[in-house]
Structure 1
Amino acid sequence: MFSKEEAKELRLEFWQKLSNKTRRLPGQKGRKRTWIFDNTGIKGLDLRFDVSREKIIVALEINIKKEEDRLGLYEKLEAAKGLFEGQFGEPLIWDFAYTKPNGREVCRVYVEQPGDMYVRESWTEIFTFMIDKMIRMERAFLEVKDYLKYM
């Protein structure tokens, strides 16, 4: 078990190493990979990394507070499921009522794998998963972005 300070330092090191790893991606020429994340161009729709002691998640998250609008955007995304998953390259988990650890309900389309961010020995495998899946998630999102923009 880690103290609060040790856990904080380990999390910081984890994210720094992931950032460094993205500088060595093909085509990056030493530049840091810039992820879309919360700059998707669609309010309330973000791309997320979610890491914990149990699992690693790469997700497209709809976090609009007004439930009707959130579910409306999710339904529109779900209508493009075939195209989205086809571009992603594998089936995804579709959850219109995903409850985050803070209790907030969002809609999520995601992929996950078991993993523990506090185990340094597994970081290489975790980073490979996160980078590969986020590149694919961005590509799939960009394929349907224009369609989603107009509700």
Structure 2
Amino acid sequence: MFTKEEASAIKKEFWTGLAQRLETRRSASGKRINWVNYKTGSRDIYFRMYADKKKAFISIDLGHEDIGIQELFYEQFLEFKSYLHNILGEEWDWELHTSDEIGRTVSKISKTLTDVNVFNKKDWNKLYDFFKPRIIALDEFWFDAKDNFDALK
């Protein structure tokens, strides 16, 4: 068991390692980018990466507080579902109106990796191999599709 400070330090080391693996990679637009804290340019659309002692996931979170508008974002993503899955090279899970870690209603498009532990450094390469190609693919998708979401801002 780790203290809160030790756990925080381990997570920081992990995310720093992922950032270092991605630091020379440019975005689809050719710009330098903070991959770990990816900015979509939309207040209500987030690309999230998460890892704990049981699992890891990467997701597109649709967090508009107006449930109707959130549903419009979700429906817009559904229009791009085939294209998104084609770029990702796999199918992801789609959830309309679920709860996030603090209890807010969000809609989520995600991929989960189970049986990994961010606190076990032996799992880090597996986690890096999970996150890296998917965040790069999300960036490629977003570069092509983001203009279609501007009207919903």
Quote the offset at 1:24 in angstroms: 5.6
Which residue of 2 is the match for residue 20 of structure 1? Answer: 20
CA distance in 2, matches of 1:37, 1:20: 13
Quote the offset at 1:105 in angstroms: 1.7
Which residue of 2 is the match for residue 131 of structure 1? Answer: 132
Quote the offset at 1:23 in angstroms: 3.1
The alignment's C-alpha RMSD in Å is 2.2
Q: Does structure 2 retain, via aligned residues, the 8 Å contact 1:36–1:47?
A: no
Q: Does structure 2 retain, via aligned residues, the 8 Å contact 1:87–1:143?
A: no
CA distance in 2, matches of 1:40, 1:24: 19
Which residue of 1 is the match for residue 98 of structure 2? Answer: 98
CA distance in 2, matches of 1:43, 1:9: 29
**Ranges in structure 2 where 5+ consecutive residues have no aligned partner:** none
Q: Does the alignment pair 1:122 with 2:123?
A: yes
Which residue of 1 is the match for residue 146 of structure 2? Answer: 145
- Aligned residue pairs total 147
TM-score, length-scaled by structure 1: 0.86
Q: Percent identity?
A: 20
CA distance in 2, matches of 1:11, 1:36: 12
CA distance in 2, matches of 1:137, 1:143: 10
Quote the offset at 1:41 in angstroms: 2.3
Quote the offset at 1:38 in angstroms: 5.1
Distance 1:8 1:137, change over 3 A: same
Answer with 18-27 or 105-114: which moved more: 18-27
Q: Does the alignment pair 1:48 with 2:45?
A: no
Q: Secondary structure at the match of 1:13?
A: helix
Q: Does structure 1 retain, via aligned residues, the 8 Å contact 2:19–2:36?
A: no
Distance 1:13 1:95, change over 3 A: same
Distance 1:16 1:36, change over 3 A: closer
**Ranges in structure 1 where 5+ consecutive residues have no aligned partner:** none
Q: Does structure 2 retain, via aligned residues, the 8 Å contact 1:40–1:46?
A: yes
TM-score, length-scaled by structure 2: 0.85
Q: Secondary structure at the match of 1:150?
A: helix
Q: Which amino acid aligns with 1:140?
A: F
